[in-house]
Every structure is written in structure tokens, then in C-alpha cells.
């Protein structure tokens, strides 16, 4: 231990080079760590959805949901299972243990589906498996509204912007809702069918046999090799109209001769409205490793550029902007951290002088940057809990440096040179510093094994605290002596101060004047009556716990605060179609719009992709 401290002080150039490396590496790590409101929590749920178009809820339950349930019950790690069956869709939500990796859970579910896939109806879609995470919620919603433009125009502009947004590197998906799929509708003329002696089955078979990619192979000749392309995939509506239905030696009857084909929209099962007006909504989802704020700024830039292209009657309303909350949350905690930093440095400067306090204050950015190196390695984000961990550790990380610098100053007041003074200080205070910070870490160590979602939520704060305080040990016992051996100085201290320092080391502190002397004399009186003091402290602690247990307000995991978003869920019984459900929602919307205060009111009717509908 002594040899190690001598090494750091005697080879101070290497020590300071190592410190500079930590600073540079830490700054580069800060640039790589993404910011988010909350950390990535392993939510132990897997969502499985299966489409079976045209099937009733009873058929979906019998042919889709129950077979999947029976197969998933054989998975040993599944804790619970919920299922829903509705028109054309079946859903299951599987719960796994908190500690079970979600990657393994996804693999187990997909393997189980592959085993039972042949038992499901051929007409059904392959079950879709999805994990739950905070990234599954949109970063923001862009709502296109207009009082004059048609629905087709709104959808066209929304689709163009969704395509442009999806091209951004940090965007995973720009999902369009409130906009039905565009389809071709065929109105069959029975008189024409009878006149051509055709049937609806002929039309069905002709359509089914077309619009298929046909691999026709290659033609190899003396001049080269050529790929054969068969034009069999529909590109335009005219291709559909030219589908041959009947043919003989003299003529061909196409689809256009038998039916009236026109462009239209599929029947809507989802609706979105903003501030009482129909809207086409883009829900934007970011990639896991993307920065929310960076993605939001890129989207804002696209919106500002689109103002020159969009008609003046089309407005874009932003709702559920999660990045705004993230920026406010991180800004507040960073502001509190900076305020605490200023207070800590002010107190240290007032107590120790400018030069000594500078060495102590340098511990704060050095330890923070050291922690950021490992936060980047373990792929943490700059979220609320990480910043809170920095804030908690702020006052504790300088304790070791304060002790080393203060003891070195005392030795220099006795006549030692600064090199020897800082060596002796680091050696003398090695175990006190280790034990002091070690006991603090021991308090938080069990929290690293806190299970459940709440444990995952708190773990980034505990990890950050461990990294920062571990770095403070290195700084106090390695970097502080090296820096002090070069820049350490008593400064301008009068004879009285030096005399008091010597008296504290070798004399009787009760003879001192001022606060230090009064405290020493008070402490001496307490030590004369140890039994009384211990009894008083125990009685005080027991009284406080008893009073709080009887009259306290209790406890809660999160404090109550004013919400920035209020969600109103509406559920109805009965076989209601989409339009009937929308009318009920409009009545609720009218009531909500009469409330003063909200910046925007966003209404969304869940469709076939939402099991809660």
C-alpha cells in the first residue's frame, strides 16, 4: 500500500497522464450515451397476436386461441397467461419471471408457435410475437387536421411525411392510424354475368390465380445469360381490370367487362380525432439505441420544412410528445446537480482556501467522467435514475479528498515539504478513506439484488453511486497526492491558524477558542456520561418511530404530483360497430372539450390491432 502511494507521487507525470486519459475517455463516453426519461426495464410480458380474417370470435377462440394456450401451458417459465378473441383476431399476453431474459422468453414463445403452426387454419396469419418495452410507446404523435381538405388529401400528405420520417436513422417506425387502407372495390353486374354465362366463382378463381410472382428462370445462349421476367404482378388498377375471366377462340372477357372497378378505402375500424376534428395520425417509434431528443429535433426540422409544401388549411398538431417530458426531467435534475455542485465548491473554498479546494473540487468532474466510462460500457442511458445517482453521490465523493488535503496541510504547517506531506497524508488516511466509503457502499450493496420491476427501476441509481464512489477512492488516494505534491500549498495562513493546527495534533483541543474549542468541551462533557447519552439516543429513535408509525401518512413508491397527461378510457358492452363506438366517443369528447386547461385533446378509437377494444 505504501509502495503504491509512493509510486503515484514519485511518478506524477504518469499519474496525471492516467487522469487525463480518464477525462478524455469519459468525455467521449458522455457523447455516446443516449438520453431518455427512464432506463430500459425488462418488462416480463410477451404479446402474441394472430389474424384470421372473417372468423367470428367463437371460431377464433376455438381454432386459434385455445390451441395456442394449450401449447404455451407447457412452457415451464410462464407465470400467467391472458387471452382475448374477437372478430378476425386472437391475442395472448404471457407473463414470465422478472429475472428471465426477455430474449429467451421470445425464443421460447416462437419455438412453441413453430411446433403448433401446422395445427392452425391455413387461412390464418402466422402468429406475431412482440415484447413489451418503453420503446414500444411512441415518441410523439403527429396529427394532420383540416377544415377544408378532403380525407384523401390528409392521408396522402400524412403518408408522404411518414415515409420521410421513417428514413431518419433513429426512427424505427412511423405508423399511420386514422387512415384506412386504399383498396379496389368491384361492383358485380349480375346481368353482365348472365349474358356472358359467367359466375362469381370464375371471377374469384381468376383473381386468385393472378398477382403472383412467377420465377421463370434464365435463358442461356451463345450471346449470354438472360433472366426471364413474367409480368404477373399488379402495378396499377388497369392491370386488375385487364384480368382475363373467360376466353374462346374469338374473344377474351376481362374483369372490366363484368364488374365496375373503382378506388376506395377499406371500412375504417380505427378513428383518431384532435381537438374535435378528424385527423390522420402518425405515431413515431424510435430505435432502442437512438436518442429521443435527437430524433425529436430531426422530426421538428421535417415539420418546419413541410410548412412550405402543405396547403394553408392543413395543420399539424403534436400530441403525447414524450421527448418534451424527457428534456424537462433531465434538465431539472441536471440543474439541481449543478446547483449542488456550486454549493459544495463554495463551502469547500470557504473552509480550505482556493488552492486546496481546487484539488478537492476537481474530484467531482473526474469521478463523474470515470463513472460515465463504465455506464457507456454497460449500455446505460442518461435517465432520471442515473442523474439522481450522480446527485446523491455529489456530497460523498469529495470526503476522501478533503481528509487527505486537510491532513497534508496540517503536516505542511509542521514544516514538512509538500511531497512528503501528501505522501504521509495518503498513507495515514488510506484505511479511514477505504472504510468510510466502503461502509457507505455496503448500505446500498443489497439493493443491487432487488428483484422485480421496481428493482430494475432503482438499479441504475445504485450502479451509478457505486461507480462514482469507487472512483472517489482512486482520486483521493492516487490523484490527490500526485496533484498536491506539485501544487499543494498552505496559502496565506496566519500564525494563529498554524498554532491551532499544531494544538489539534499534539495538544488539548479544549483550550482552543471559537467553535472548535466549544465543540471539544461539549463533547468532553458527553463522554463523561456515556450511559445517559446512549439511553437518550435510543429513546429518541424509538419515540420518533412510534410517533410516525401511529400518525404518519404511510408510504408509497412514487410521490403524488400533478399529471401532465390525463387518459380517459371508455368501454362499452354489446356488438357495436366502429361507427357506433365512435359516436359514443364523440359524446365523451364534447364533455372533455368543455374543460379548461388542456393544450390538446387527442381521441383514438382502438381497432382490430388492440385487444382492449
What pLDDT does residue 92 have?
A: 92
Distant-in-sequence, close-in-space partners of 12: CB < 8 Å, separation ≥ 6: 482, 483, 485, 486
Please tell me the pTM assigned to this model.
0.66
- The yes-or-no verdict on residue 487 having pLDDT over 50 is yes
What pLDDT does residue 543 have?
A: 93
Look up cell 467553535; give the residue: 515
Question: Residue 106 phi/psi, 5° resolution?
Answer: -65, -40
d(CA 117, CA 176): 30
| Higher-scoring residue by pLDDT: 1, 544 | 544
For residues 248-268, average pLDDT: 79
**Which of 129, 278, 333 has its CA nearest to residue 579?**
278
For residues 308-325, average pLDDT: 83
CA distances from 510 to 407, 410, 580 (A): 20, 18, 86
Check for a shared fold between 45-132 and 139-181+266-319+563-613.
yes
Cell of 313: 388549411
What pLDDT does residue 48 have?
A: 92
d(CA 589, CA 40): 34
**CATH fold for domain 139-181+266-319+563-613:** Alpha-Beta Plaits (3.30.70)
| CATH classification for the domain delimited by 183-265, as one of 3.10.520.10, 3.30.2090.10, 1.10.3210.10, 3.30.450.20 | 3.30.2090.10
| pLDDT-wise least confident of 42-51, 57-66, 238-247 | 238-247
| pLDDT-wise least confident of 331-335, 444-448, 527-531, 533-537 | 331-335
For residues 325-335, average pLDDT: 72
What pLDDT does residue 613 have?
A: 43
The overall longest dimension of the chain from CA atoms, in Å, is 126
Helix axes 452-474, 399-413, angle to 10 degrees: 20
What pLDDT does residue 94 have?
A: 92
- The yes-or-no verdict on residue 607 having pLDDT over 60 is no
d(CA 564, CA 325): 9
Per-residue pLDDT band for 496 (boundaries 50, 70, 90) equals low
Look up cell 440543474; give the residue: 335
For the chain, first and last CA: distance in Å? 67
CB atoms within 10 A of CB 181: 10
What pLDDT does residue 559 have?
A: 67
Could you state, in order of their start, the residue ranges of all structural domains in the chain?
2-38+326-493, 45-132, 139-181+266-319+563-613, 183-265, 495-529
d(CA 474, CA 18): 11
CA angle 153, 314, 181 (to 5 degrees): 30
d(CA 510, CA 503): 10
Question: Residue 514 phi/psi, 5° resolution?
Answer: 75, -160
How is residue 104 annotated by DSSP?
A: H
**Which of 377, 371, 338 has its CA nearest to residue 475?**
371
What pLDDT does residue 611 have?
A: 45
| Higher-scoring residue by pLDDT: 599, 38 | 599
d(CA 134, CA 147): 35
- The 3-state DSSP class for residue 222 equals coil
d(CA 248, CA 444): 86
Q: Place domain 2-38+326-493 in its CATH homologous superfamily.
A: Multidrug efflux transporter AcrB transmembrane domain (1.20.1640.10)
> Which tens digits make up the pLDDT trace of 191-229?
888 887 788 888 888 877 777 777 777 888 777 787 877
| pLDDT-wise least confident of 474-488, 522-536, 593-607 | 593-607
What pLDDT does residue 88 have?
A: 84
What pLDDT does residue 606 have?
A: 64
**Which of 81, 76, 135 has its CA nearest to residue 111?**
76
Name the average pLDDT for the chain: 82
- The yes-or-no verdict on residue 44 having pLDDT over 50 is yes
| Higher-scoring residue by pLDDT: 374, 409 | 374
d(CA 64, CA 56): 11
Question: Residue 318 phi/psi, 5° resolution?
Answer: -95, 125
| Higher-scoring residue by pLDDT: 325, 203 | 203
| Higher-scoring residue by pLDDT: 471, 387 | 471
**Which of 484, 500, 458, 599 has its CA nearest to residue 12?**
484
Q: What is the pairing mode between strands 224-229 and 277-286? A: unpaired
Is 65 within 8 Å of 25 (Cβ atoms)?
no
d(CA 448, CA 464): 11
Per-residue pLDDT band for 154 (boundaries 50, 70, 90) equals confident
**CATH fold for domain 45-132:** Alpha-Beta Plaits (3.30.70)
CB atoms within 10 A of CB 359: 25
What pLDDT does residue 612 have?
A: 40
What kind and span of H or E run contains 438?
helix 430-444
Per-residue pLDDT band for 501 (boundaries 50, 70, 90) equals low
- The yes-or-no verdict on residue 476 having pLDDT over 80 is yes
CA dihedral 322, 325, 329, 334 (to 10 degrees): 90
Distant-in-sequence, close-in-space partners of 453: CB < 8 Å, separation ≥ 6: 41, 42, 43, 44, 98
Is 309 within 8 Å of 363 (Cβ atoms)?
no
Amino acid at each position: 500500500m505504501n509502495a503504491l502511494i509512493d509510486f503515484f507521487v514519485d511518478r506524477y507525470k504518469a499519474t496525471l497522464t492516467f487522469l487525463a486519459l480518464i477525462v478524455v475517455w469519459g468525455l467521449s463516453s458522455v457523447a455516446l450515451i443516449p438520453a431518455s426519461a427512464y432506463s430500459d426495464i425488462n418488462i416480463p410480458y410477451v404479446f402474441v397476436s394472430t389474424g384470421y380474417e372473417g372468423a367470428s370470435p367463437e371460431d377464433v377462440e376455438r381454432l386459434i386461441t385455445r390451441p395456442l394456450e394449450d401449447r404455451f401451458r407447457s412452457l415451464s417459465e410462464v407465470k400467467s397467461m391472458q387471452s382475448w378473441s374477437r372478430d378476425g383476431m386472437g391475442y395472448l399476453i404471457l407473463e414470465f419471471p422478472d429475472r428471465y431474459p426477455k430474449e429467451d422468453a421470445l425464443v421460447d414463445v416462437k419455438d412453441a408457435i413453430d411446433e403448433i403452426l401446422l395445427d392452425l387454419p391455413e387461412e390464418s396469419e402466422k402468429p406475431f410475437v412482440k415484447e413489451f418495452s418503453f420503446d414500444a410507446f411512441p415518441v410523439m404523435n403527429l396529427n394532420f387536421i383540416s377544415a377544408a381538405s378532403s380525407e384523401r388529401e390528409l392521408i396522402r400528405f400524412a403518408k408522404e411525411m411518414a415515409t420521410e420520417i421513417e428514413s431518419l436513422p433513429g426512427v424505427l417506425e412511423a405508423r399511420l392510424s386514422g387512415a384506412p387502407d386504399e383498396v379496389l372495390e368491384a361492383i358485380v353486374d349480375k346481368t353482365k354475368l348472365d349474358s356472358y354465362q359467367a359466375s362469381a366463382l370464375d371471377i374469384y378463381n381468376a383473381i386468385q390465380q393472378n398477382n403472383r410472382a412467377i420465377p421463370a428462370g434464365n435463358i442461356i445462349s451463345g450471346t449470354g445469360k438472360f433472366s426471364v421476367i413474367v409480368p404477373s404482378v399488379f402495378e396499377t388498377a388497369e392491370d386488375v381490370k385487364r384480368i382475363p375471366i373467360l376466353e374462346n377462340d374469338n374473344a377474351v372477357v376481362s374483369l372490366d367487362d363484368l364488374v365496375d372497378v373503382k378506388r376506395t378505402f377499406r371500412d375504417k375500424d380505427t378513428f383518431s380525432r384532435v381537438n374535435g376534428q378528424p385527423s390522420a395520425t402518425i405515431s413515431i417509434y424510435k430505435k432502442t439505441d437512438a436518442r429521443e431528443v435527437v430524433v425529436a429535433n430531426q422530426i421538428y426540422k421535417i415539420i418546419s420544412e413541410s410548412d412550405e409544401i402543405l396547403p394553408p388549411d392543413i395543420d399539424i398538431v403534436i400530441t403525447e410528445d414524450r421527448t418534451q417530458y424527457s428534456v424537462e426531467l433531465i434538465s431539472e435534475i441536471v440543474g439541481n446537480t449543478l446547483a449542488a455542485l456550486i454549493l459544495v465548491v463554495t463551502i469547500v473554498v470557504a473552509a480550505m482556501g482556493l488552492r486546496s479546494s481546487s484539488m478537492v473540487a476537481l474530484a467531482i468532474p473526474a469521478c463523474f467522467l470515470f463513472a460515465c466510462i463504465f455506464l457507456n460500457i454497460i449500455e446505460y442511458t442518461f435517465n432520471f435514475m442515473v442523474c439522481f445517482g450522480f446527485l446523491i453521490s455529489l456530497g460523498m465523493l469529495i470526503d476522501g479528498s478533503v481528509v487527505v488535503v486537510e491532513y497534508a496541510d496540517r503536516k505542511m504547517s509542521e514544516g514538512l515539504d509538500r511531497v512528503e506531506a501528501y505522501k504521509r497524508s495518503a498513507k495515514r488516511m488510506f484505511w479511514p478513506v477505504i472504510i468510510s466509503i466502503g461502509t457507505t457502499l455496503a448500505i446500498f450493496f443489497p439493493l443491487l439484488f432487488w428483484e422485480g420491476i421496481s428493482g430494475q427501476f432503482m438499479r441504475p441509481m445504485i450502479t451509478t453511486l457505486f461507480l462514482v464512489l469507487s472512483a472517489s477512492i482512486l482520486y483521493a488516494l492516487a490523484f490527490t497526492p500526485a496533484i498536491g505534491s506539485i501544487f499543494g500549498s498552505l496559502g496565506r495562513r496566519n500564525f494563529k491558524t498554524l498554532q491551532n493546527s499544531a494544538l489539534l495534533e499534539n495538544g488539548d483541543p479544549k483550550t482552543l477558542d471559537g467553535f472548535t474549542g466549544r465543540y471539544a468541551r461539549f463533547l468532553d462533557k458527553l463522554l463523561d456520561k456515556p450511559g445517559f447519552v446512549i439511553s437518550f439516543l435510543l429513546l429518541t429513535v424509538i419515540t420518533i418511530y412510534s410517533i410516525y408509525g401511529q400518525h404518519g401518512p404511510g408510504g408509497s413508491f412514487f410521490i403524488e404530483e400533478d399529471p401532465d397527461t390525463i387518459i380517459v378510457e371508455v368501454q362499452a358492452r354489446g356488438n357495436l360497430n366502429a361507427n357506433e363506438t365512435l359516436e359514443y366517443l364523440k359524446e365523451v369528447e364534447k364533455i372533455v372539450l368543455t374543460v379548461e386547461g388542456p393544450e390538446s385533446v387527442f381521441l383514438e378509437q382502438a381497432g382490430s390491432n388492440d385487444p382492449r377494444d
